[in-house]
Structure 1
Amino acid sequence: MSQMIIRAGDFTFDARFEEQLAPKTCAAFKKHMPFESQVIHVRWSGEGVWMPLGDLDFGVTYENHTSYPAPGQIILYPGGISETEILLAYGGVHFASKMGQLAGNHFITLTSGLENLPALGKTVLWQGAQKIRFEMV
């Protein structure tokens, strides 16, 4: 089980890759680590923050995909009818875009700091984009 630290804004979370459930997505993402981006608040999906990644191609298709990630679950939408993106749920999420419902690969789960997820979401909503960094430990 691979461990990582995710720093988002002023918050730090421990996390693990879901290597048994999404091995291809995990392997593809690891090639980009440490991964840095910015999170912004979702538009249509509910209580989540996301990283719009344009046409970045991780070279994966659907595996362990869901439209309803639980708080602390991170999904990767590999692109298609909408741009590539990564979403972190901090509350109730029904993953969607202006094109309609989407599904993303659940490939990372937060293992600590879950109590700080609502504060992260509210910070992003009211203060704007926050830096995020994924790094292996």
Structure 2
Amino acid sequence: MIEKIRITAAGFTFVAHTHPDAPQTVAAFKKLLPYKQQLIHVRWSGEGVWVPLGDWSPGLAYENHTSHPSVGDILFYPGGYSETEIILAYGGCSFSSKMGQLAGNHFLTVVEGREHLAAMGKKILWQGAQDVLFEVID
């Protein structure tokens, strides 16, 4: 079942759909909702923003994983070689860390507000960390 998630970030609002090929990741993420944190710009991955989750381990395996998210794809990296994180591609992105290439579970896709993703990403790049809120839309 595809569910809608509202993402409010850096003064922009987006709607994302859950991905049916990542049911365990979606279920683990939904337990966090509503989830408020800060988005920061990626360091090695190109045009993306991320939420570092540190050493938290949700106990997930890879499902529907990729290293090359498209614009609007949101990945959940369950930890291992680098810290657990959520990454959102707003442009050309190759998911990496200082340890090298990573793959994350593609569990959300932005379907509304995509035209504002680049502006959000550039705002975070030039102005620094910005608040983000993920919540289920009923």
2:3 corresponds to: 2
**TM-fit CA distance, 1:4:** 1.5
Q: How far apart are 1:59 and its partner, in Å?
A: 1.9
* Residue identity matched to 1:114: R
Match of 2:114 in 1: 114
Q: Distance in 2 between matches of 1:68 and 1:37?
A: 24
- The one-letter amino acid of 2:54's match is G
The TM-score normalised by the length of structure 2 is 0.97
Which residue of the partner structure matches residue 13 of structure 1?
14
In the TM superposition, residue 35 of structure 1 has moved relative to its aligned partner by: 1.1
Give the Å deviation of 1:119: 0.3
Give the deviation of 1:122 after TM superposition.
Answer: 0.5
Write the letter of the residue equivalent to 2:16: A
Q: Which moved more, 1:55-64 or 1:38-47?
A: 55-64
Long gaps (5+) in structure 2: none
Superimposed CA distance per residue, residues 111-137 of structure 1 (whole angstroms, 9 cap, x where no aligned partner) = 110010110011000000000010011
The reply on whether 1:76 has 2:43 as its aligned counterpart is: no
TM-score under structure 1 length normalisation: 0.97
**Sequence identity (%):** 60
Matched, 1:131 2:131: yes
Give the equivalent residue in structure 2 for 1:99.
99
> Could you say what secondary structure the match of 1:69 adopts?
coil
Q: Report how far residue 61 of structure 1 moved.
A: 1.1
Long gaps (5+) in structure 1: none
Deviation track 1:22-49 (CA, whole Å, cap 9, x = no partner) reads 0000001001101111010000000000
Runs of 4+ displaced beyond 4 Å: none
Which whole-Å CA distance do the structure 2 matches of 1:95 and 1:107 have between them? 15
Q: Distance in 2 between the 1:98 and 1:28 partners?
A: 26
